[in-house]
Amino acid sequence: MSKGMENLFKPGDIGTLKLKNRVVFSPCETLYATVDGQVTQRIIDYYVRRAEGGAGMLMTHTVQGCTKIDTNDPFAHSLRIDDNAYVPMLSELTEAVHRAGSKIAVLVSPGSGAQSMGFPYDRGLEGITEPLNVGASERQSNVAQRKVRRLSVDEIKDLVKIYGLGAARAKNAGFDAIAIHALGGYLVAQFLSPLFNDRDDEYGKDFDGRMRLLLELVEACQQNAGPDFPIIVRISIDEFVEGGRGVEESVKMVKRLEEAGVSAIDAHAGIYDSMHFIIPPVFLPKGVLVDLAAAVKAEAKIPVIAQGRLYDPELGESVLEEGKADFIGMARGLLADPDWVIKVQEGRVEELRRCTSCNQCIGRIFIGLPVRCAINPTVGRESQFGATLPKAEKTKKVCIVGAGPAGMEAARVAAERGHKVKLFEKTGELGGGQLHLATMAPFKEEFKNIVRYYESQFKKLKNLEVALNCEVDAAALEKEKPDAVILATGGEALVPDIKGIDSKNVVTNHDLLEGGAAVSGKVVVAGGGCAGVGSADLLSEKGVDVTVVEMVEQCALDEELITRLTLLHRLGEKQNVTLLNNHIVKEITDKGVRVETPEKEEILLDADHVVVAFGAVPYNPLGEIADKFKDCQIIGDTVKPGKILHAVEDGFYAGLKV
């Protein structure tokens, strides 16, 4: 066991449920279910992989409990438990997880209410007719912005009854506990919150009225699944919005839940208006929600699960050691590395593939795509790829040019499969140009963990040679006599044909991040995508006055939603940053940047320096050699600049293909 990590691996209890350690795999929507809400083999393999990795308990992503009351599916492909037809496959899931050595709780929601951004469970109605969202009141969500129908008392009574039947199904299906979804401003949370609940009947008026639905759901679970079936409540301790529920009242609610027989509290935060607390991006500190768990722990006797970027084992251990919580929860950390628990327990912390909090996982869910991980390409593909990769039928000599994310992953996979691999990198360190630049932006030092992971893997692979400070040409490659070649030379800054762009006062964002460009005074950043706003953030931290010029209606549209909104809010609070949307750069002069306004007028933005941040284009100096090798793959940004997710996936499949 890792020295100093004893608390993480102590057994723990949640009611009658005994867990082998203190690590909980928290819910993360997958979109792997059938369109009707059935468990699939893909879901089973996904959870089993985390169970095999050593997590003490897994908590499923949201399972819908009352689809005839709240008729809008928050996500296409949500799991369901509101009919006996779903029990057989749910039982296949629990049996498989138990065989893999973990416990499993089911997170059941009666609905997403006013915050639903999904579509009817009756498929195919989008654009024809759509049912209203339902809620505690007619109060609309600022994010969903949909009309809301207030649930009647009779409907609420039916909802409670249906939910209780779901608890019985959960127990019959073999789940070890049920978690009530009272988090994030969804339906139960709306009844709890003064922001949404303005009812004047028994389910509103005051504190007791707002708590009534949740307490009745607890009672319905006890009546249908038995008093010994553990109940966990997953709840926002602070909604972090004006007019919402804060810590003091939430702790009071927790004490009432404890009296009602709830077995544990999963202490979380936020609603859609404060979504960055539900899934904290890189701009929020590690352990950002731990104090909320500690506030509950100080008043309640039942176990508390802490949340909030806890995938660094040292941090998780300290939370437990200091008595701030009884368990630590993480979703993204176990997406990135399902073997997190085993590696930490065996003292292999340096081998962790640590989450970067890039939120590409949840970002895909928001646009209706199945969950993936930017740095672990096997997420969602566990049915194809387990803990080990298939060995190559024939050993080859593989030369890979470029040690960015694509090249490093290709090298790792090819070497693990048994090939003899030589990885060339023209700079003096792993990571390549693009990844190195990414680590230079504010808060992006997390990306250094990607390189650390590959360094740990390369040390173990004796059939992999890394050649740094080695820029190869066609002749050098031919001299190596490889059986296969992979070109992963990455990208370079896009410098469009704009008048004056070659002026002395112009630098690229690549030059800026490298630290080789002296930029001061008034600065205009040309381009408001990820590259541009990241550059503006960096410059603003140095006290520089920055104006970002973006030709479309919003900045950072190429960024994941939560990260984007958090960054734009961060920039919006800075007095030295101005964002100009719908403006087109026409010319750069020694006095500044001439731009076209939305009204088609041309104005001059004064600037001492101009940072060009229009993104990247492929850099492929060896493209002409592709035909010289029978087996030559071109991958990653060398083909089309994109996210790390796409580069790593390209590298993974290239390594499998050779």
List the catalytic residues: 186
Contact between residue 140 and residue 190 where contact means Cβ atoms under 8 Å apart: no
Separation of alpha carbons 414 and 431, rounded Å: 18
Contact between residue 114 and residue 135 where contact means Cβ atoms under 8 Å apart: yes
Separation of alpha carbons 211 and 259, rounded Å: 13
**Residue where the block lists tokens 């381009």:** 527
Which tokens hold the place of 654?
A: 């290239």
Helix residue spans in 64-206 (DSSP H) = 87-99, 153-172, 187-192
Nearest to 324 by CA among 306, 302, 349, 300: 306
3-state secondary structure 398-461: EEEECCCHHHHHHHHHHHHCCCEEEEECCCCCCCHHHHHHHCCCCCHHHHHHHHHHHHHHHHHC
Separation of alpha carbons 543 and 546, rounded Å: 9
- DSSP conformation letters of 155-177: HHHHHHHHHHHHHHHHHHTT-SE
Separation of alpha carbons 445 and 222, rounded Å: 47
How far is the CA of 211 from the CAs of 85, 136, 194, 400, in angstroms? 31, 12, 11, 60
Contact between residue 376 and residue 449 where contact means Cβ atoms under 8 Å apart: no
Separation of alpha carbons 291 and 282, rounded Å: 18
Pairing relation of β-strands 592-596 and 602-606? antiparallel
Which tokens hold the place of 499?
A: 């008048």
Separation of alpha carbons 113 and 185, rounded Å: 8
CA angle centred on 297, ends 293 and 298, rounded to 5°: 120
Separation of alpha carbons 237 and 510, rounded Å: 42
Render the burial of 334-358: b for 16+ CB within 10 Å, e for the rest: bbbbbbbbbbbbeeebebbbbbbbb
Separation of alpha carbons 648 and 375, rounded Å: 6
Contact between residue 406 and residue 414 where contact means Cβ atoms under 8 Å apart: no
**Residue where the block lists tokens 């800026």:** 512
Separation of alpha carbons 486 and 398, rounded Å: 8
Separation of alpha carbons 187 and 74, rounded Å: 11
Separation of alpha carbons 421 and 573, rounded Å: 49
